[in-house]
Amino acid sequence: MFHSPGGYECKSIDIKGELPFRGTMKKSRTGLAILLLAFLVIGFVIVALLVSFVIKDSDDDGEGLAGLFSSRNQIAVIPVEDTLTASNPVLKQLRKYAKKSSVRAIILRINSPGGAVAPAQEIYAEITKAREKKPVVASIETVGASAAYYIASNADRIVCSRGSVTGSIGVIMLLPELREVFERLGVNVNVIKAGKYKDIGLSVRPLTEEERRILESFAEEIHEQFIQDVAAGRKGKIELEKLREIANGSFFTGEKAKELGLVDEIGNFYDAVRVAKKLGGIKGDVELVYPEKKWDSYLDLFLQSLAQALSRAIEKSSVMQPAPLVR
């Protein structure tokens, strides 16, 4: 209470807590914050879907919306590594980059000792299709032998180091005989089959002479396919008869391979880039593009890593190799 100059008594009123709309304001701010957060979440989802669409469009069609912002002087680099047991990853990348107009040339960066014949033949065939649209260069790192050389032989040019290991044009089949091991373990194996040769190569018994001839004939047939495909890929660079002389499973240094006509040039990866740039008619700087590793989840990443570890363990043990390996 206080007195006014005119002598009137006045009461001061504390309006704190008296305004009924303050609680409403707090609720409005909370609702606004929730609404803003909802808009941010929706916006994030829309952006994620757009990015996913762009990436998928680029993967499926080879160009997509992402191509609008990419360099027109690209060279795609596709790794070919470890023992070849499957062709799908390399096939997919070859098809993708063959379609992509911004990619002017493809480099296969090879570091593999070989593997199964079927994946090598599938990749070889896809290289033929890719070469109809743009040049393909093989760059051999440490080793590019057997099935890996099978692949490289169909490229427009092969570049490797002087000490790279290559060649090894041959076929091998490993069929371990474990009959005595089973006997010592007291394990009896019963075989039920329909078809005279259905159990050919089974480890519980030795091969008969007839079965050995069948498998040797099979290996020789694969070997001849290997030789014919290399001769076609290296046409004009090595004569068929000369190729037959060295197609005995022998491996060579890069330097010796160049002398024999198995490779075109001695150099490193960037020499291969230079060759690809020239074949692709690229002027100025180039952009190297690599396949992106994609995993749908951490579980996929874990399973892929586990599969690779098991593959390496099996390869080192070399206990069984049921499929013919071109080596």
CB-based contacts of 204: which residues, under 8 Å, 6+ apart?
178, 179, 182, 189, 191
What is the torsional sign of CA 267, 273, 278, 280? positive
Catalytic site includes residue 278: no
74 pairs with which residues across the strands?
103, 287
Cβ(291)–Cβ(88) under 8 Å? no
* Active-site residue, from 198, 235, 242, 278: 198
Catalytic site includes residue 198: yes
The 3-state secondary structure of the chain, one letter per residue: CEECCCCCEECCCCCCCCCCCHHHHHHHHHHHHHHHHHHHHHHHHHHHHHHHHHHHHHHHHCCCHHHHHCCCCEEEEEEEECCECCCHHHHHHHHHHHHCCCEEEEEEEEEECCEEHHHHHHHHHHHHHHHCCCCEEEEEEEEEECHHHHHHCCCCEEEECCCCEEECCCEEEECCCCHHHHHHHCCCCCCCCCCCCCCCCCCCCCCCHHHHHHHHHHHHHHHHHHHHHHHHHCCCCCCHHHHHHHCCCCEEEHHHHHHHCCCCEECCHHHHHHHHHHHCCCCCCCEEECCCCCCCCHHHHHHHHHHHHHHHHHHHHCCCEEEEEEC
* Active-site residue, from 112, 146, 153, 168: 146
> Which residues are catalytic, by number?
146, 198
